[in-house]
A and B are shown apart, each in its own frame.
Chain A
């Protein structure tokens, strides 16, 4: 599956100022029984979003109509826990294109990138300010420019890091498998020389 191209995004934000949001919160295990990639957005943050009887929890941010947008802003150490790519699928399926946090768990970061979701890591101070701004003005937009590796709103801006190879993948909408398939001969040569 190749990923959607990503270049520039301007969007309002959904703030989730909680730290250590783990993959069991993003998508609880009981929703991992599917054998396809679709429909996980429905159960994104399921147990925070809905009561045990299925009623929307009013003060959870995804249920607050004043917040919307393709950018999720979350507390530090986002995506820790399991390797379930379902977490990234749920976020993408819900409609988020970017997650901003001051720290991401490793496997989540990779999974997100492999699904066209851009993890943008910012400093703790930048994040704190952004939370404040978004919470006081719900329609506040941010601009995420992948080419320039820049995140901007009003007069504030910061650079973010991304591996140049991954950046290339996202800008062009190709994925690792496409790349690896082109390396077949190299892989075979490695098998012949290094493994006996």
Chain B
């Protein structure tokens, strides 16, 4: 039998039909929906006179557009309120499980899926959100789709997609102290560039990846899209099984044993071929920070922005435009530069481990007066756990408060917007122009680097504090 990659195994097992000269019809095991990309899909269904084919394989949670304070009060912004009510109404009408606002399981769709045990190895999972790649951390084939495709999956539980090419990224060795999963992923993106994995599905491998917790693996898979990949995945192992076991929607009893036997076969066979392979050394990875307006424009925290002579002539205009937006100079170092905001949260770094990391660094220290900090847990469950573990107390003593869960300043659809020209060290995933509010300037980094900035008020090397 031909050696197969992990991706092949999961993908091939879900192909209903290969369309002549066209894409595959791929069966979807789990469909996650949220308020922003689903309303037009439901109205599309309605205008065609169709019903949701498998409501039990669909889960809804509002996240992008919800406030992160006073969630018990009616939402002030009328359009936001309407969008969230529309999701509730669509779920109710179509008998779709919903973790609505104030529900104890509510949260960012990519935090909620795994923590409730919806996300499992070997699945196909889609959502109208590009960071669906997060779920690949469990050995699932998970990817973001557009609204027309959301409609397709609602109507037929299938999607039409060409099979992507396969890439493996191996990180050998051990990450140094103060260097996290976020730094690893920012490093890889800077090597490949924002389009470097377009057309590919990535498998992450190597000791540095294997040694990551499930939270860390989710952070890595999450940002696969930032180099253009359709998705990223990591072969499931004991850490994966341990994480899934006992969660509300995980298989139980005999079904668990059966599932486990199947999941253990989910790894790339010896000799299986990839269309592209990259290998990096964990020792080369420092705490990272971005200085530009796409996630590929990043560097080690002590490094210097490339000088004019380091940039290809054809890329120079876009590069300069980006630096002008950030108000940084070619060739300069940004360590020690002023920061105004710190955002900890998002589906990249809004999980319990991220809050623990942030709290561990600020414990016994004080927030810099000049800093506005938004600490936003990824879900209600994360929020609860942070309180139970005493993290909130540590944060409060250091001068921070925790907000309520949601996407928040990751995309600034709700009130949480960084003002124009202000610098925000953010644990989220995108530093595009205006991403965190019109005119805002985003510096992507790990929760540790965010913590170092939060206590010093300037861009700082977290290794000095851990």
Q: Does B147 contact A (CB under 8 A)?
A: yes
Given A110-B149, A186-B17, residue A177 in contact with residue B23 (CB < 8 A): no
Check A83–B16 contact: CB distance below 8 A: no
Which residue of chain A lies nearest to B161 when distances are taken between CB atoms in the complex? A110
User: Which A residues are CB-close (under 8 A) to B65?
Assistant: 32-33
In the assembled complex, the CB of B258 is this many whole angstroms from the nearest CB of chain A, namely 9
* Distance between Cα atoms of A139 and B68 in the complex (Å): 50
Q: Does B235 contact A (CB under 8 A)?
A: no
Q: Does B47 contact A (CB under 8 A)?
A: yes
Q: Does A30 contact B (CB under 8 A)?
A: yes
Stretch at the interface among B282-290, B379-387, B393-401, B434-442: B434-442
- Tell me the B63-85 residues at the A interface (CB within 8 Å): 64-65, 77, 79-80, 82-83
User: Which A residues are CB-close (under 8 A) to B86?
Assistant: 35
Check B130–A81 contact: CB distance below 8 A: yes
In the assembled complex, the CB of A162 is this many whole angstroms from the nearest CB of chain B, namely 11
User: Which B residues are CB-close (under 8 A) to A186?
Assistant: 16-17, 25
* Distance between Cα atoms of A19 and B293 in the complex (Å): 11
* Distance between Cα atoms of A191 and B57 in the complex (Å): 13
Check A33–B79 contact: CB distance below 8 A: yes
In the assembled complex, the CB of A10 is this many whole angstroms from the nearest CB of chain B, namely 27
Q: How many residues of A contact B (CB 8 A)?
A: 58
* Distance between Cα atoms of A84 and B228 in the complex (Å): 15
* Distance between Cα atoms of A86 and B146 in the complex (Å): 9
Check B155–A180 contact: CB distance below 8 A: yes
Check B195–A85 contact: CB distance below 8 A: no
Q: Does A96 contact B (CB under 8 A)?
A: no
User: Which B residues are CB-close (under 8 A) to A176?
Assistant: 148-149, 152, 160
Which residue of chain A lies nearest to B128 when distances are taken between CB atoms in the complex? A83
A-B contact count (CB 8 A): 187
Q: Does B182 contact A (CB under 8 A)?
A: no
Check B434–A24 contact: CB distance below 8 A: yes
1/0 per residue, CB under 8 A from A, across B273-298: the answer is 00000000000000000000010000
Which residue of chain B lies nearest to A47 when distances are taken between CB atoms in the complex? B434
* Contact with A165, one of B21, B157, B321 (Cβ below 8 angstroms): B21
Q: Does A145 contact B (CB under 8 A)?
A: no
Which residue of chain A lies nearest to B144 when distances are taken between CB atoms in the complex? A83
1/0 per residue, CB under 8 A from B, across A65-109: the answer is 000000000011100111111101000000000000001111100
Given A33-B65, A183-B156, residue A85 in contact with residue B148 (CB < 8 A): yes
Q: Which of B39, B147, B151 has the most CB of A within 10 A?
A: B147
* Distance between Cα atoms of A17 and B315 in the complex (Å): 11
Check B16–A25 contact: CB distance below 8 A: no
Given A82-B130, A187-B16, residue A28 in contact with residue B146 (CB < 8 A): no
In the assembled complex, the CB of A36 is this many whole angstroms from the nearest CB of chain B, namely 7
What would 21 A/B residue contacts be, using CB atoms closer than 8 Å? A1-B47, A19-B318, A33-B79, A35-B83, A35-B86, A77-B198, A77-B228, A83-B129, A84-B146, A85-B148, A107-B144, A110-B149, A163-B162, A165-B19, A176-B149, A177-B152, A180-B160, A187-B27, A187-B158, A191-B27, A194-B13
Given contacts A19-B315, A85-B40, A85-B146, 11 further A-B contacts (CB under 8 A): A1-B148, A25-B434, A32-B413, A35-B43, A88-B146, A106-B164, A111-B146, A176-B160, A179-B160, A180-B156, A190-B27
Binding site for B on A (CB under 8 A): 1, 17-20, 22, 24-25, 28-30, 32-37, 47, 52, 75-77, 80-86, 88, 103-107, 110-111, 114-115, 124, 163-166, 175-177, 179-181, 183-184, 186-187, 190-191, 194-195
